[in-house]
Amino acid sequence: MRVLIIEDEVRLAENIAEVLRESGGYAVDIVFDGEEGLYMAESNPYDLILLDLMLPRMDGITVLQKLRGGDMDVPVLVLTARDEKEMIVTVLNAGADDYVTKPFDLGELLARAKALIRRGKGQRSPVLRVGDIEINTADHSVRRAGTLVSLLGMEYRVLEYMAHRPNTVVSKTELLEHLYDFNWERFSNVIEVYISGLRRKLDEGGSEKLIQTLRGQGYMIKR
């Protein structure tokens, strides 16, 4: 999952990013002003945007309105220091999915972020089920036929992303775009390494092959 943070307070943005990366296993990009934030949001497929309201060059509400006006339905979580009712109504009416008021709790922010990503994929329960595989998005545990399977962080992220889209072909590029931020190197064979790792760990003892490769197109998980 890839998250964009639009927040001009550097330290705050970095702290949020750290927790999202370490606890949520998300790829995180940070921008410090509204204009750049809008540009980034429009040109990359994010799974969630964390948006501050008081931003240089373009305020958060405007960014939000432009995003929604441009038919972008990415979930947006607003970070605001203002907690007056009018402000919250404005924020929600402008198209925000949720908000937290500063000073917020990073644990709460993470939980809300996860919930928004889930809902963004049309799923309400934190547990994803594909065949006999159970993926708990809250604690990142994976079970196959009730047996706990231990996965690497990136392996889990590839699996979660694909499990959100069962019966859909997911290309390598799409996976890269969603799992890596701009700070990370992009090598397409990294994905192949994680896919083979996943196959090895999940298909062990299973009757059916979970991940199918469609040559030249990508990968698919069948329900």
Partner 1 sequence: MTARRSIQGQLITAVIVSQLLLAGGLAALSMYSLRRQLRTAFDAGLQGRSMSIAALVRYSEDEPSKLMFDGELAPRPLDAKHPDAYKVYSSDGKFSAQSPNWKERFDRQTPRQFWHVTIGGTSYRAVRMAALPVLDSEGAGTPAPPTLTVIYAAPTEEMDELYASAGLYLGIGSLVLLAVTAGLALWGIRRGLFPLQALANSAASVSPVNWELQVSEEAQTTAELGPLTQAMTSMLRSLQKAFTQQREFLTNAAHELKTPVAILKSTLQSLLHRPRRSEEYRAGIEKALEDMARLEKLLHSMLRLARAEQWAMGNLQRDLPEIELGTTCQSAMERLQPFADMRGVKLEFANNGPVRMRADTEDLELVWANLLENAVRYSPAGETVRITVTNDEAGARVAVEDRGPGIPKEEVAKIFDRFHRGDQSRTRDTGGYGLGLAIANAIVETYGGTICVEATGEEGTTMAVRFSRKPLADSC
CB 210 within 8 A of CB 158: no
CB of 23 to partner 1, least distance (A): 6
Q: Which of 37, 42, 39 is CA-nearest to residue 13?
A: 37
**Cα–Cα distances in Å, from 43 out to 25, 39, 46, 101?**
22, 6, 9, 28
Residue range at the interface with partner 1 (CB under 8 A); choices 67-75, 98-106, 122-130, 161-169: 98-106
CB of 11 to partner 1, least distance (A): 5
Q: Which H or E run contains 202? A: helix 188-203
Cis bond upstream, residue 103 (ω within 30): yes
143 part of the interface to partner 1, by CB under 8 A:
no
Residue range at the interface with partner 1 (CB under 8 A); choices 102-110, 153-161, 178-186, 207-215: 102-110
Q: What tokens appear for 71 in the block?
A: 């038919």
Going through the chain in order, the beta strands assigned E by DSSP cover 2-6, 27-31, 48-52, 76-80, 98-101, 127-130, 133-136, 141-144, 147-149, 211-214, 218-221
104 part of the interface to partner 1, by CB under 8 A:
yes
Of 39 and 104, which CB lies nearer to partner 1 in the complex structure? 104
Q: Residues 75 to 94: which contact partner 1 by CB under 8 A?
A: 81-82
Considering only CA atoms, give the Rg of the chain.
Answer: 18
CB of 180 to partner 1, least distance (A): 21
Rounded to the nearest 10°, the torsion over CA 45, 46, 52, 53 is: 40
Q: Residues 106 to 125: which contact partner 1 by CB under 8 A?
A: 106-107
Q: Residues 2 to 41: which contact partner 1 by CB under 8 A?
A: 8-12, 15-16, 18-19, 22-23, 32-33
Q: Residues 38 to 77: which contact partner 1 by CB under 8 A?
A: 56-57
Number of residues that bind partner 1 (CB under 8 A): 24
Binding site for partner 1 (CB under 8 A): 8-12, 15-16, 18-19, 22-23, 32-33, 56-57, 81-82, 101-107
